[in-house]
Structure 1
Amino acid sequence: MTGAIPVSVIVVSRGRPGLLQRALTGIGQLWYPQFEIVVVADEQGRDAVVGMGWQDRVKLAACDEANISVARNIGIDRATGEIVAFIDDDAVPEPTWLTHLCDPFRDPEVVQVGGLVRGRNGITFQWPVRAVNALGETRNLSLDQDAPFTPAVKEGEAIKTEGTNMAVRRDVITNLGGFDPAFRFYLDETEVNYRLRDRKTVIVPLAQVHHGFAGSARRRANRGASDLTDIGVSTAAFLRKHAPHSVLEGALNRLYSSQKARLIGQMVDGALSPDEIAPLLVTLETGIAEGRKTSVGEAVEFPATPEPFLPYAPLSSGQSSVFSGRSWQRRTLAVKAKRAVAQGEVATVFRFSPTALSHRAAFNPEGYWEQWGGLFGRSVRDGPWFRWASFSARVQKEQARLSKLRFK
């Protein structure tokens, strides 16, 4: 790509050094020719970057405060790219992510772009395309194309992007005052979306990242809630900032009811025990009380002349390779994939067992993609549970499914 727009990829990390290293490994395989990486992390995360030997390859900034908006603003402050792109430390991008995500910015009217996020099984999308209203409530929108598009929304709605896969013009977000520190977690990027609701936003279906919902102080590894305080804080703050005062109490009552229903659902699924629900709802009430009085709308000042751009020196050759075999050939396939990665290639391993097991996919911390499951099982979850296929035909089918994302 000639004349590529300079991009700063901002990664915020807290308490997940191993996942941060995996995320950076994946970001390092991007096929975009003009980007820098800005890592904003706690001490563990900064040590992890040093442990990779990447301290001179990225811009490394400290943030020991548990506030993602503050951390993102630190990243914007250090960023020099015309575009700032955001991805979480528990996510990994497809190698074409920035190429697809940044293409709409060639239109000067586009100020914000969002992509799609694949969830825990590595195949199904975690969220649909959505709109959000002044109450912070989302509505699903239709998606029936691969081409970038601007969804139609109702009066008073904004197009929602996901914080782990979004980009915005740096001058736009700095003139906006950055992310509001009142939103230390939850609705943080949504609040930016809402302030930009009258500006042109584009959704790019082929700009994809894989996101696994890693455990944190607010959520266990099994996705069970462990603290709802920030949900309460952010929702109350969002309502105070954007919704009419007359609807505040009704919206907060709906929040309480919806979160209670979510906790009961997690209990039914085995992620929570019955005696955990009441204490969790207390944390929600505590958060709502705090959000009623927390300061909102605090603008951040950014330097007029940012520091020099630090172009990432790619390890990738821009080539891709595929290795396929049976489930019992896992070690042999891994050796081949790692050898290809060492040569700068993006490597994908397909491992199929003689079963109808559904497929899963993930980015291995060793630096290669892998997909595993039954030869006769489904990958896309709306497909049939069982289908006859020869081994070579199934490999070709799965490779074709990913052709616009990972293969050249």
Structure 2
Amino acid sequence: MEDPTVSVVVVSHGRLRSLAVTLTALARLDWNALEVVVVACSRGAEAARAHPEGRAAKILEYNAANISAARNRGIAAAAGEVVAFLDDDAVPEASWLRHLVAPFAVTEVDAAGGYVLGRNGISLQWGARTVDDTGVATPLALTGDAPVILHGTPRRAIKTEGTNMAVRRDVLATLGGFDPAYRFYLDETDLNLRLARAGHATALVPRAQVHHGFAESARRGPDRTPRDLTEIGASTAVFLRRHAEDDRHGPALDALRRHQRARLIGLLQRGPLDPSDMRRLMRGLEAGIAQGRTRPLAPLDPLPRPAQGFLSYPTRPGAPQVLLTGRRLAPLLDAARRRDRAGEVVTVLHMRPGTRAHHMRFDPSGVWVQSGGLFGRSDRTGPRIRITRRSTRVAAEIERLAPIRPLVRG
């Protein structure tokens, strides 16, 4: 069976550098038939066009700060059989679509979601979860890392993350895509509930992994400190109106207030916020709740078919994935970039003597870089220090990455 055509929709607003990195990573995917649709503000669209692969992407300008409406524009332009979604501060593993799209070979599967790694590139940020009709997510224990096909209920859906999910295009278009009443926050969660209520199955795919950077935006600082909670309040109120019974709205909003207040108190104690910041942010949350209670809720009309056919984006199907390792980073990176230009997908493992914890990042030049101390831990659940030989540690890292990134020493 041939792989389905896939359109990846990337929405971007004011994050030119991270968007460029995302586009570079997409060009290293192990996938044959990829289309990339970028929906960006004017400056972002200009930056995307200037990217080396920009001429091979569908680029749409959209300046409103509404991720749902922007995604719907991307869906309308997407010509792939499956539409996947990726944030502009996220980087997919080369194997991402190979794993994420595989469950669509099963007829009953209409949506899929993968796992999201945090800023250190190793620890899990979001794994398997369900979500109820008040928008509260609950971890879901899965055994092993094989895809699991699940059905939600009218009051509890299978949670997917907006930066690592895919839906059959015909199903997504019929459902009306994303609800523009959610300008930010809970937009994909609303879609999860609608998919569940329509009887669609969702596959959770642990090996479909994306690295999420949490880049700076109008709503959060570079250290993830919130700058504005208005849309969190508004989207929560909209979500409750869409999905929950009236008598559950008050308790759910009180729970939201407690959660946000506790989060802000933690930031206040650690230093990023002062008391005036906390008061301002909580006022924004209340203003958002008030807005969400009166925001118009329109029916979602089906989305149109694309006006333009499928536009192929350059990828690297079947490219060798190689590992380069050594003590000096500069010559390692030089060698890695040469191998990358030759068409390989390259990981650099740079270990110096010491116990520093390991981090994985995607370099803007197109190569992966894992760095840390020879005796430092990768898995944050493991011991902080483990005395080992360099050759043993290299073999251990190759084994750790093998299910997602099968590496051959170069």
Per the alignment, do residues 60 and 204 of structure 1 end up closer, same or farther by CA in structure 2, a change over 3 Å counting?
A: same
> Equivalences for 1:9-408 in 2 at 5 Å?
9-150=8-149, 156-197=155-196, 198-304=199-305, 306-314=307-315, 318-326=319-327, 329-407=328-406
Mapped to 2, the partners of 1:377 and 1:144 lie a distance apart of 28
Mapped to 1, the partners of 2:393 and 2:362 lie a distance apart of 20
Q: Is the 8 A contact 2:31 2:316 kept in 1?
A: no
* Amino acid in structure 2 at the alignment position of 1:261: A
TM-score, normalization by structure 2: 0.96
Match of 1:8 in 2: 7
Deviates more, 1:30-39 or 1:298-307: 298-307
Q: Is the 8 A contact 1:36 1:58 kept in 2?
A: yes
How far does residue 268 in structure 1 lie from its aligned partner after superposition?
2.0
How far does residue 49 in structure 1 lie from its aligned partner after superposition?
1.3
Deviates more, 1:164-173 or 1:150-159: 150-159
Q: Is the 8 A contact 1:112 1:200 kept in 2?
A: yes
How far does residue 254 in structure 1 lie from its aligned partner after superposition?
1.5
* Amino acid in structure 1 at the alignment position of 2:264: L
Mapped to 2, the partners of 1:383 and 1:305 lie a distance apart of 49
Q: Is the 8 A contact 1:317 1:343 kept in 2?
A: no
How far does residue 300 in structure 1 lie from its aligned partner after superposition?
3.9
Per the alignment, do residues 125 and 297 of structure 1 end up closer, same or farther by CA in structure 2, a change over 3 Å counting?
A: farther
* Amino acid in structure 2 at the alignment position of 1:375: L
Deviates more, 1:190-199 or 1:146-155: 146-155
The answer for unaligned runs of 5 or more in structure 2 is none
Mapped to 1, the partners of 2:387 and 2:232 lie a distance apart of 46
Mapped to 2, the partners of 1:306 and 1:184 lie a distance apart of 25
Mapped to 1, the partners of 2:252 and 2:157 lie a distance apart of 18
Mapped to 1, the partners of 2:305 and 2:329 lie a distance apart of 52
Mapped to 1, the partners of 2:269 and 2:5 lie a distance apart of 48
Mapped to 2, the partners of 1:231 and 1:121 lie a distance apart of 26
Mapped to 2, the partners of 1:146 and 1:352 lie a distance apart of 28
Deviates more, 1:310-319 or 1:351-360: 310-319
1:89-119: CA deviations, max 9, x gaps? 0000000000000000001110110000000
Identity of paired residues, percent?
46
Runs of 4+ with >6 A deviation: 152-155
How far does residue 270 in structure 1 lie from its aligned partner after superposition?
2.3
Q: Is the 8 A contact 2:12 2:87 kept in 1?
A: yes
Deviates more, 1:6-15 or 1:262-271: 262-271
Mapped to 2, the partners of 1:301 and 1:148 lie a distance apart of 29
Mapped to 1, the partners of 2:27 and 2:304 lie a distance apart of 27
Mapped to 2, the partners of 1:392 and 1:305 lie a distance apart of 52
SS class of match (2:242) = helix
Q: Is the 8 A contact 1:91 1:210 kept in 2?
A: yes
How far does residue 269 in structure 1 lie from its aligned partner after superposition?
2.5
How far does residue 271 in structure 1 lie from its aligned partner after superposition?
2.4
Mapped to 1, the partners of 2:59 and 2:135 lie a distance apart of 33
* Amino acid in structure 1 at the alignment position of 2:112: V
* Amino acid in structure 2 at the alignment position of 1:107: V
Mapped to 2, the partners of 1:25 and 1:130 lie a distance apart of 30
The answer for unaligned runs of 5 or more in structure 1 is none
How far does residue 203 in structure 1 lie from its aligned partner after superposition?
0.3
SS class of match (1:126) = strand
How far does residue 340 in structure 1 lie from its aligned partner after superposition?
0.9
SS class of match (2:267) = helix
Q: Is the 8 A contact 1:8 1:84 kept in 2?
A: yes
Per the alignment, do residues 364 and 53 of structure 1 end up closer, same or farther by CA in structure 2, a change over 3 Å counting?
A: closer
Q: Is the 8 A contact 2:233 2:289 kept in 1?
A: yes
Mapped to 2, the partners of 1:195 and 1:295 lie a distance apart of 18
1:34-70: CA deviations, max 9, x gaps? 1111111111111111221434201111110100001
The number of aligned residues is 405
Deviates more, 1:238-247 or 1:42-51: 42-51
Deviates more, 1:315-324 or 1:77-86: 315-324
Per the alignment, do residues 288 and 151 of structure 1 end up closer, same or farther by CA in structure 2, a change over 3 Å counting?
A: same
TM-score, normalization by structure 1: 0.96
* Amino acid in structure 2 at the alignment position of 1:52: H
SS class of match (2:360) = strand
SS class of match (2:126) = coil
Q: Is the 8 A contact 1:317 1:345 kept in 2?
A: no
